[in-house]
Structure 1
Amino acid sequence: MRTLDGRYRLEQRIGIGGMSEVWRAHDSVLDRPVAVKLMSPGQEGRDASVERIRTEARAAARLVHPNVASVHDFGTSSTLPGRPLPYIVMELAEGETLAAHLRAGPLDWRIAVRVCAEVSAALAAAHAHGIVHRDVKPANVMLTPAGVKVLDFGIATPAGAPDPTPDGLLVGTPAYLAPEQLDRAPATPAADMYALGVLLYYSLTGRLPYQAGTTTQLLGARRRRPPEPLPEVPGLPAEVAGLCADCLADDPARRPTSLMAALLLAEAVDARVYVPMLQSVPPRQREAVSPWTDRAAAEQTQAAALTDWSAAPAER
């Protein structure tokens, strides 16, 4: 058992990845459970890597949304002389990941659509702050008693920023990377929407929209042919199937925004989501409107655009 900076007592490792591991910990100052993500600095220069991770933590800390796991703190701990180990302290989201749920097979379409509506609402909050998540996948979606929590903004980046990783290295999970990411184009919110389309497809069918047994086969299949059409799901509204197809479009311009997707998916299951609305309200009215509003209020300002978008699938 270790304590970071005399404050965060590591209790149990609850997740591990290629560049990080996540621990359940206890914050002795505020006497509360937290999640601590220990991150391995890259090899491009440790000082630069630590600063990059600090910048990413600051960006994620700006997001205040019920479907985003909050970032509380950032620090470094020395494991060996001259080797600072960055860590990020986050809200401990109690529940089970979407990946764990999907091991038993596809979700009921109503649950799948509701989960993706909340994921899209979280992305809308990030995109409103100019942040692209870059790693939307079932393992980063936690299903809690209070709803969905989107985790791990560890490789998030400002929208449009050049990819800082070395040539030949793809950042993110290959099955969820948009086509332009495979070509190392700057990350945009449209890349997150491609990942949302894969997430929705997987949640509805229990499989990816590509047939491949290995990562190499997957990347080859993705470059050779488009995603397989979504099979018929009994009861699934046509507009949801259309949104899934549009999210998986090769052309980023054809993909819906996270705000539009959140509203359409929530409408399909009569759910409530929270989305940033200030950009949709005339400046003279902004002082009277909360920056966060529920689905009912969102519909009043977005109804015309949403109706036009869902009523003309042939034009998308």
Structure 2
Amino acid sequence: MVDGRYQLVELVGSGGFGQVWKAHDPRIGRWVAVKVLLGANTDEQVARFHREASVAGGLAHPGIVTVHDFGNAVHENGWRYSYLVMELLPGRPLSARLENGPMPLPEALGTGCFVVRALAAAHGAGLVHRDIKPSNIILGDDVKLVDFGISRSPEQHHDLTATGVVVGSPTYMAPECFTGTFDHHSDLYSLGCVLYEMVTGRPPFDGRDFWQLGHQHRHEQPPPPSTLRKEAPRPLDDPIARLLAKTPDKRPADADEVYRLLYGIYDRGEQEPPRGRKPPRDRKPRRGADVDTEVTLNQDADDPRMRRVTQPLAPGHARQLLDAHHAGASEGDLARRRRRPARGVLPGRRHPRR
């Protein structure tokens, strides 16, 4: 029992500073996830933990985990601990999904679009996540970004000078983060690393330790995704290369620009046939396999020019991207999209037609 209220049922994960439990809140009658801070409980750790609660709790976005409660309590053995109560997310982390190899390209692009929209919300609030990696992206009915424990405003003192420790995950860290500096472009770099892994099945760099990874991130260039996976569209190489630029000013300006780049590639139907094979002029190469769910985008029953286009989706990942992320578009933009036939679909939830 946490703080006399939350009944811990099952350990679902653990990290450097604590554990995450599936728990039940009898007061509300709902299942929740409870993150418990264990260990030394230093002032810095407690402050970081509470910062995660206040940061994530203040970001109301469908792509960011919802925080219900947080606080401090005393265990029956006398030791103090902090806890964070969040929505219990169905699904599994992207890291588990990637253990099976690269993702189908529509799913990879759709997941990237979901994450970048969540980042846009965080950056719009003046926050940098600083630990974008597959284990902090949960795939379920929606795609959710979790773990804001080390997120900060770029104006705050960075951890290298404050504590002598660089925070983050070296496999996905931007070059500047290895010297303790960061801004929102650092998150975009990390997203580029994740996107690279979703498309190719491997991260851009695989150094054996922190120092080798730091050297690779700062000085080496990974091979373009299209050279590692024949199905990867060449037009995707350039956005990923821009995301992985060594200096922040060479990367896309913001998360919104990244979204436009990723969605634009899919919307244009940029998926090439295997090299050496040219499809007939009146047909596009077949995409995907193993149909589980089909979703239709840009469909307008009153417009005979709108053709129904379906795309096979990976089992368990039916998430409709267009309705979820174009809600803020202008009426002119929506009108232009209705006039343009659908090119395909992205993984997404089914939404009732408006």
TM-score by length of 1: 0.79
Count of matched residue positions in the alignment of Structure 1 and Structure 2: 279
What residue is the counterpart of 2:285 in the other structure? none
Select 2:237's aligned residue among 236, 241, 258: 241
One-letter amino acid of the structure 2 residue matched with residue 161 of structure 1: Q
Distance of 1:198 and 1:255 partners within structure 2: 13
31, 35, 38: which one aligns with 2:36: 38
- Counterpart in 1 of 2:83? 87
Q: Which has the higher strand share?
A: 1
Residue 120 of structure 2: SS of its match in structure 1? helix
Aligned counterparts of 1:298 and 1:17: Cα–Cα separation in 2: 45
Distance 1:159 1:251, change over 3 A: same
Q: Would the aligned equivalents of 1:12 and 1:25 in 2 still touch at CA under 8 Å?
A: yes
- Is the 1:210–1:228 Cα contact (8 Å) retained in structure 2? no
Distance 2:43 2:231 in 1: 53
Offset of residue 81 of structure 1: 7.6
The answer to whether the 8 Å contact 2:218/2:246 transfers is no
Is 1:162 equivalent to 2:157 in the alignment?
A: yes
Unaligned runs of at least 5 residues, structure 2 = 268-320, 337-354
Alignment partners' CA distance in 1, 2:77 and 2:192: 45
In the other structure, the counterpart of 1:22 is: 20
Contact 1:266 1:272 in 2 (8 A): no
**Cα distance in 2 between the residues matched to 1:6 and 1:37:** 15
CA radius of gyration, larger in? 2
Q: Is the 8 A contact 1:76 1:87 kept in 2?
A: yes
For 1:42 and 1:219, the matched residues in 2 are separated by 29
Match of 1:56 among 45, 48, 52: 52
- Residues 1:268 and 2:287 aligned together: no
Q: Is the 8 A contact 1:78 1:84 kept in 2?
A: yes
Match of 2:352 in 1: none
Q: Distance in 1 between matches of 2:68 and 2:110?
A: 27
Q: Is the contact between residue 226 and residue 233 of structure 2 (CA under 8 Å) also seen in structure 1?
A: no
The whole-number CA distance in structure 2 between the counterparts of 1:298 and 1:112 is 28
Runs of at least 5 residues in structure 1 that lack an aligned partner in the other structure: 276-292, 304-316
CA drift at 1:32: 0.5
Out of 150-159 and 91-100, give the one that drifted further.
150-159
The aligned counterpart of 2:118 is 122
Aligned partner of residue 269 in structure 1, secondary structure:
helix
Deviation of residue 66 (structure 1)? 1.2
Q: 1:5 to 1:148 in 2, by over 3 A?
A: same
Q: 2:187 aligns with which of 192, 212, 218?
A: 192
CA offset at residue 48 of structure 1? 4.9
Letter in 2 for 1:267: G
What is aligned with 1:6? 4
Q: Measured at CA, do residues 81 and 25 of structure 1 come closer, stay the same or move farther in structure 2, by a change above 3 Å? A: closer
Query: Per the alignment, in what secondary structure is the counterpart of residue 322 of structure 2?
Result: coil
Q: Do the aligned partners of residues 220 and 264 (structure 1) sit closer, same or farther apart at CA in structure 2, a change above 3 Å counting?
A: closer
Matched residue, 2:105? 109
The offset of 1:121, in angstroms, is 0.5
* Cα displacement string for residues 24-50 of structure 1 (whole angstroms, at most 9, x for unaligned residues): 11112111111111124767xx34542
Alpha-carbon RMSD across the aligned residues, in angstroms, is 2.6
Partner in structure 2 of residue 213 of structure 1: 208
Q: Percent identity?
A: 36
Paired residue secondary structure (1:272): helix
1:77 is the counterpart of 2:73? yes
Distance of 2:173 and 2:331 partners within structure 1: 29
Contact 1:10 1:24 survives alignment (8 Å): yes
| In 2, Cα distance between equivalents of 1:51 and 1:174 | 23
Shift of 1:53: 2.4
In the TM superposition, residue 80 of structure 1 has moved relative to its aligned partner by: 7.7
Q: 1:241 to 1:160 in 2, by over 3 A?
A: farther
Q: CA deviation at 1:61?
A: 0.6
Cα distance between partner residues in 2 of 1:117 and 1:299: 22
Secondary structure of 1:121's aligned partner: helix
Deviation of 1:209 (Å): 1.1
CA distance in 2, matches of 1:192, 1:156: 10
Distance change (3 Å), C-alpha of 1:81 and 1:24 = closer
Q: Higher helix share goes to which structure?
A: 1
Please point out which of 227, 230, 236 is paired with 2:225.
230
Q: Identify if the C-alpha distance between structure 1 residues 21 and 104 changes in structure 2 by more than 3 Å, giving closer, same or farther.
A: same
Deviations 1:40-67 (A, max 9, x none): 4767xx3454234223311111111111
Q: Which amino acid aligns with 2:106?
A: R
Task: Give runs of aligned pairs for residues 288-299 of structure 1, distance below 5 A.
Answer: 294=327, 296-297=329-330
Does residue 258 (structure 1) correspond to residue 255 (structure 2)? The answer is yes
Question: What CA deviation, in whole Å up to 9, does each residue of 1:103-153 have, x standing for no partner?
Answer: 111111111111011000110011111111111111111110x22111111
Q: Is the 8 A contact 1:41 1:50 kept in 2?
A: no
